[in-house]
Structure 1
Amino acid sequence: MTSDDIARSVPSRSVETYSALSPEQTEAILELLAEAARVDGQQAVSEQGRLQLRHSVSAGDGGGGREGVSHLLLTAGGQLVGYAQLEDTDPVEAPAAELVVHPAHRGLGHGRALGTALLAASGKRLRVWAHGGHSAARHLAQVLGLTLFRELRQMRLPLTGTELSEPVLPEGVTIRTFVPGQDDAAWLAVNAAAFAHHPEQGSLTQRDLDDREGEPWFDPAGFFLAERGGELVGFHWTKVHAEERLGEVYVVGVRPGAQGGGLGKALTAVGLRHLAAQGLPTAMLYVDADNKAAVSVYERLGFTTYETDLMYRTET
C-alpha cells in the first residue's frame, strides 16, 4: 500500500474489478508496478501477488484467473493509475489486499478510492499490506479505519567478510537437493505441517509450487532437503535475486517432531554457505517480528533488520 492520499475530486476516475485479465491489462499493471518499485525502492505487491497477476490472463473462453483472487484497476482520464489485488482464499482470515498508485498520480485520492473499493468488495472485513511501512501508507490506513496488527521484518546479513558456521546435522540426517516432479508432494506436506499456523506459507498448493518452479530464479541446486531414514524432515529453499546481487533465505522449515535438535540451524547454514559460494555479497530473509525465537536465532547469526512491512486490518 503506497499512496499519498489528499482526497480531491477526480471526476473521470473509475475502479473496475476483474477475476481474469487480458494480456494488455497484465502488461500495463506490471509496468505500473515496475515504475512504483523504481521510485519507492521496493515492490508494492508481494511475490505471491505478482505470480497471481502474471497467471491471471484470461484463456479467451471465460477461463483464466485464480479462484478467490480479484484485480481492481483504477483509471483516470482513460489511463491506468492504480492497481489493487484482493485474495479471499483463507477460510478463517479476512481477505488480504495489496495496492499501489502510480508515482506520478499520487496525492489525488486514488489510494483512498482503491481502499474504499477494497472495503466494499470484502464486506468491510479486510487485511492490507503496506510494504516498507511508509508514512503515506500509515496515513491511508488511518483514513480507511484500519489498525496495525502484523509486522514483517526483512533482515540482512553480509556474506563477504562473515565467517559462516559449518552445518552440524543431527544424527542420521542427510542433505540432498530437490528434484522437481519427484519431491513435490512430500515437500508440500512437510511445508504445510511446518507452517500450519502461518497465514501464507502454510497454504501453498501444487499450483503455487509449479508457478515458482516456472520462474527464472528457480534453481533446484539451491533447494536443500533434509532426510532421515528416507523421510523428509526439513528443508531450506534459497533464492537468488540476480539483478540486485542478493541471496535470500527463502524459507526454512522443519517437520514437527524433528524440531529442537539443531536441524533448522544446520539447514540455515547449508543455504547461507551455498549463497556465499555464488559470490553474492548479501543474504536476506523475512521473519515475523513477534516470532521472537526466530528473530533471536537470526540475530545471533549476524542478521540485522533492514526494513519492515506492516499489515493493517479492519476491527471487525
Structure 2
Amino acid sequence: MAQVESLSDDQVRGIKSLASRCQQHDGAEPFNEETLLSLTKIPGPHLVHFLIGSSDHTIGYAQLTLTDGEANAEMAVDPRYRRQGHGRRLMEDLVSSATNNATVLRLWSHGDGESARRVAESEGFRRSRVLFELGIDSQRIHWPRTWPEGAGDWPTGNGPRLSLPDGMRLRAFEPGNDESELVRVNAAAFAAHPEQGQWTFEDVITREQEEWFDSEGVILAEGPDGVVGFHFTKMIPEDGETPVGEIYVLGIDPEVQGSGLGRILTWAGMGHMAARGAKTITLFVDESNEPAVRLYRSQGFETVRTDVQYSRPLSLPA
C-alpha cells in the first residue's frame, strides 16, 4: 500500500473512477465533497492519502485529515475486491497514522452499508453520529403567494405571504466582493459545528471554481449593517439531465436568529432551484437535530440516504 502526501493526476483520476464504481454498486457516493476537493489540495502534514492498486486501477483509497487533535477519515474499496482484506488494511493504516497525532478517529460511511459497518465494528469503532439526506419533489411544495424584495422569478402558489424584517432585502452573491462577509456570517452561525464552522475565504473561492457554482444561487439577506444570512444552493445534473437541487448551506447570524429569516431564506433557495429546473430538492440534517428533522418531515421531505459516522478513541504514544 502506498502512503502519499500528494497525488498525481493519474492517481486522482483513479480515485474518482473508484468512487464512480462504488456509487454504481452501492447506490451512494463513498466520499463527501470535501474529500474529493482535497485530492488536489496542496500537500501538508494534516492530510494523508492511502492507496491500494496501480495508477491504471485503484482498488482502494483512504484519506486522513488531522485537525486540533482529532482525525477524520473516509475510505472505499472496489466492489470486485471486497472481502479480501483490503478494507481492513486501509483501516489499520488509518488507525496507525492517526494514533501518532490524535486522540480520536472518526470515519464516515455513506449509505450506512453493511460492509463498512462490519469492518468498522470489528476494529473497535462505534456508531457516533447519523446524518440524514432528505428530499422532496418540488411539485409537492406549497409555494408562497408572494416573495419579499429582491426575489427572482420564483414559483408562487397558495402558501404563506413572505416578508422580510424591516430594512432587509434579498440579493445575489457577488464574486470578488462578498466572500469575506459570507465567511464571517458562516463562522458565527456554525461556531459549534465540527465541519461547517471551519470554512475559510479559500474554501469559498474553491467552490466558486466548481462547475456547479452559480452566483445567483447564493442568496444573501442584507440589512443596514451588512449581510446577516445566506442560502448557498447547489445544483448538479442527475444522469446528465434533470438537475437535483441541494440546500447546501443555510447560515443565519446569531444576532437575527428568531426573526424568521431562516425560514424565508430556505424558501428563497428552494424557489431559485425550482425555477432553474430542479425536480427534486435535498438537504442534509443530523439525526440529533430532532426539531429540524420533524420540521422537514412535516413539510413532506423523505429520507433519501443515511450516512453514519463511526468513532474510536486513540491513545497517543508516551
Report the alpha carbon displacement of residue 230 of structure 1 after superposing the two structures with TM: 3.8
Q: Residue 149 of structure 2 corresponds to which residue in structure 1?
A: none
Report the alpha carbon displacement of residue 297 of structure 1 after superposing the two structures with TM: 2.8
Give the distance between the partners of 2:44 and 2:180, measured in 1 at CA. Answer: 21
Q: Residue 75 of structure 1 corresponds to which residue in structure 2?
A: 53
For the pair 1:144 / 2:123, whether they are aligned, the reply is: yes
Q: Residue 91 of structure 1 corresponds to which residue in structure 2?
A: 68
Report the alpha carbon displacement of residue 75 of structure 1 after superposing the two structures with TM: 2.6
Q: Secondary structure at the match of 1:298?
A: helix
Q: Residue 34 of structure 2 corresponds to which residue in structure 1?
A: 48
For the pair 1:39 / 2:25, whether they are aligned, the reply is: yes
Give the distance between the partners of 1:265 and 1:228, measured in 2 at CA. Answer: 16
Report the alpha carbon displacement of residue 221 of structure 1 after superposing the two structures with TM: 0.8
Can you give the 5+ residue segments of structure 2 that lack an aligned partner in the other structure? 145-160
Alignment check: 8 A CA contact 2:10 2:55 kept: no
Q: Residue 110 of structure 2 corresponds to which residue in structure 1?
A: 131
Flag the 1:122–1:268 CA change in 2: closer, same or farther, 3 A: same
For the pair 1:28 / 2:14, whether they are aligned, the reply is: yes
Report the alpha carbon displacement of residue 66 of structure 1 after superposing the two structures with TM: 4.8
Could you tell me which amino acid in structure 1 is paired with residue 301 of structure 2? F
Can you give the 5+ residue segments of structure 1 that lack an aligned partner in the other structure? 1-14, 57-63
1:199-220: CA deviation from partner (whole Å, max 9, x where unpaired): 1111011221111110000000
* TM-score (norm: length of structure 1): 0.88
Q: Residue 8 of structure 1 corresponds to which residue in structure 2?
A: none
Could you tell me which amino acid in structure 1 is paired with residue 79 of structure 2? P
* TM-score (norm: length of structure 2): 0.87
Could you tell me which amino acid in structure 1 is paired with residue 105 of structure 2? L
Give the distance between the partners of 1:164 and 1:155, measured in 2 at CA. Answer: 18
Give the distance between the partners of 2:211 and 2:78, measured in 1 at CA. Answer: 26
Flag the 1:160–1:66 CA change in 2: closer, same or farther, 3 A: farther
Give the distance between the partners of 1:190 and 1:98, measured in 2 at CA. Answer: 28
Give the distance between the partners of 2:57 and 2:23, measured in 1 at CA. Answer: 19
1:149-179: CA deviation from partner (whole Å, max 9, x where unpaired): 1001100011024322353322222100101
Report the alpha carbon displacement of residue 261 of structure 1 after superposing the two structures with TM: 1.0
Q: Residue 155 of structure 1 corresponds to which residue in structure 2?
A: 134
Q: Residue 265 of structure 1 corresponds to which residue in structure 2?
A: 263
Flag the 1:105–1:167 CA change in 2: closer, same or farther, 3 A: farther
Flag the 1:287–1:66 CA change in 2: closer, same or farther, 3 A: farther
Alignment check: 8 A CA contact 2:127 2:308 kept: yes
1:209-265: CA deviation from partner (whole Å, max 9, x where unpaired): 111110000000110000110411100011101135211001111001110011100
Give the distance between the partners of 1:250 and 1:167, measured in 2 at CA. Answer: 22
Could you tell me which amino acid in structure 2 is paired with residue 129 of structure 1? W
Matching residue within 185, 188, 196 for 1:190: 185
Q: How many residues align?
A: 292
| Correspondence 1:1-316 to 2 at 5 A | 15-53=1-39, 55-56=40-41, 64-66=42-44, 68-75=46-53, 79-88=57-66, 90-92=67-69, 94-123=70-99, 125-165=104-144, 166-244=161-239, 245-316=243-314
Taking only aligned residues, the RMSD between alpha carbons, in angstroms, comes to 1.8
Report the alpha carbon displacement of residue 301 of structure 1 after superposing the two structures with TM: 2.6
Alignment check: 8 A CA contact 1:147 1:315 kept: no
Q: Secondary structure at the match of 2:76?
A: strand
1:134-162: CA deviation from partner (whole Å, max 9, x where unpaired): 11111111111001110011000110243
Could you tell me which amino acid in structure 2 is paired with residue 117 of structure 1? D
Could you tell me which amino acid in structure 1 is paired with residue 21 of structure 2? E
Flag the 1:77–1:178 CA change in 2: closer, same or farther, 3 A: closer
Could you tell me which amino acid in structure 1 is paired with residue 49 of structure 2? H
1:69-119: CA deviation from partner (whole Å, max 9, x where unpaired): 11110238995310000011x215x21000000111111011011001100
Give the distance between the partners of 1:135 and 1:220, measured in 2 at CA. Answer: 39
Identity within the alignment, %: 38
Give the distance between the partners of 2:177 and 2:5, measured in 1 at CA. Answer: 32
Alignment check: 8 A CA contact 2:11 2:55 kept: no
Report the alpha carbon displacement of residue 65 of structure 1 after superposing the two structures with TM: 2.4
Q: Secondary structure at the match of 2:213?
A: coil
Could you tell me which amino acid in structure 1 is paired with residue 173 of structure 2? F
1:182-206: CA deviation from partner (whole Å, max 9, x where unpaired): 0001110110110011111110112
